[in-house]
Structure 1
């Protein structure tokens, strides 16, 4: 297992300027904002379970740009129906990253069921072109690099430790600012 902020840093190191990033609500958006804030990021504030569906729509809208979805296991479990939809649509530019700490950490670290549910297997059976579990940073970086050459959609289930970085500030922009900045970023390169 790796620390979630280390996983987010690894993802940030593999992003191109044109890549778009959707992050789920909670600590993932906060950590992404503190590490890799950029105009091409859309932070889902207060909307758990919607990141993968939004990422699918975006990937279909801008097929020449990679779209990354960063969500936790709780968010992925909340929207399992999105996985077969992504598999059926098969957008080659979608990279779906589930940061799986086996808990709903943002709301008090209640355990999720991913100790008994294999999200990568669900991704494979749903039609993702690639779905793999990542237990360490080296595997994560290798799989992220593979997204440049191998078609998607790809699902990377990254096992992370419970316990996020402390004192991570909240996203300091309003939802309107996030929307407008992201919209300009999408429109500027489509």
Structure 2
């Protein structure tokens, strides 16, 4: 794929979260969290701020605790590289309701835009497959994104992994709520649990 035909990150995330029903969405460090907020704040959005590398494990915990709720992790290539070992745990646990979507611009966007390993050698789809996530795919078109959306709501056929090649545009930051206690209690309430 030509570098000029890469997907718009905000359009990808908006498509993933459109008609989300009861899905819980975990946003990784930085830009992916901003992309989720830009698609619309929701009581089942879990925004991570300083936990680089932790988004997949957070999503795994939620998926295992709530097997009747679809959970999607939306994170970046830099964070996925940092937390790459989490894919082995997902592959071992095999939660049917978990989807992991990596927005891959081949850059470390939060630290200055340095080239990431995915631009040269790291094949995240190959790693996910090798870790036991059979439904692992590379996505480079909006048609492929749209085809993924219904699978995000399937509670049995996961886990799923998708690496979406996006452009490196520096878009306006849409900063969501930064009160962690509020966000946790809001999700707990939406799932029928009392606040902490």
Q: TM-score, normalised by structure 1?
A: 0.92
Matches within 5 A, 1:150-165: 151-165=157-171
1:33-182 correspondence runs (5 A):
33-115=37-119, 116-149=121-154, 151-166=157-172, 168-182=173-187
Structure 1 ranges of 4+ moved more than 4 A: none
Q: Which moved more, 1:54-63 or 1:27-36?
A: 27-36
TM-score (normalizing by structure 2): 0.89
Consecutive unaligned residues of structure 1, counting only runs of 5 or more, are: none
- Kept in 1, the 8 Å contact 2:177–2:183? The answer is no
Q: Aligned pair 1:185/2:182, yes or no?
A: no
| Partners of 1:33 and 1:90 in 2: CA distance | 28
**In 1, distance between residues paired with 2:20 and 2:134?**
20
Give the distance between the partners of 1:41 and 1:77, measured in 2 at CA: 23
Across the two proteins, how many residue pairs are aligned to each other? 186
Q: What is the rounded CA distance, in whole Å, between the counterparts of 2:146 and 2:19 in structure 1?
A: 8
Q: Give, in angstroms, the shift of residue 145 of structure 1.
A: 1.9
CA contact (8 A) 1:45 1:175 kept: no
8 Å Cα contact 2:63-2:70 kept in structure 1: yes
**Could you give the per-residue CA deviations for residues 87-142 of structure 1, whole angstroms, max 9, x where no partner exists?**
01000000100111101112211111002211011111111130000001111110
Stretches of structure 2 lacking an aligned partner (at least 5 in a row): 1-5
Which of 2, 15, 19 is equivalent to 2:7? Answer: 2
